[in-house]
Amino acid sequence: MKNLITVGLAGGMVILFTFMTVASAWGGLGADKININTASHAELQKLPRIGEVVAQRIIDFREANGKFKKIEEIMKVRGIGEKTFENIKDRITVGPMK
């Protein structure tokens, strides 16, 4: 019985370790989202498919048009289409609106 418990615990630890490794590769469990209304140039570049030029366009867009009200509005920025949006939508937020 003791061996069965030990094997079960070891197997559970392997599964947990594997899950944590995969989650870490994906950016972490519950990793903080990037607020596209307040993010710096460098922070925006942490998003997939967002380089220096598009990060600056995001900043320029929000300065000219005000805060994004919903994340989908980021597609109004030149260089961010549906494909890029699909890659970043789970990693961005507009934060609490006041």
Residue-wise pLDDT tens for the chain (98 aa)? 566 555 455 555 556 455 554 444 454 444 689 999 999 999 999 999 999 999 999 999 999 999 999 999 999 999 999 999 999 999 999 988 55
Q: What is the value of pTM for the model shown?
A: 0.68
Instruction: Report the C-alpha gap between 34 and 43 in whole angstroms.
Output: 7
Are the C-beta atoms of residues 77 and 61 closer than 8 Å to each other?
A: yes
- For residue 34, the cross-strand partners are 92
pLDDT at 21: 47
pLDDT at 11: 53
Domain at 34-93, CATH class: mainly alpha
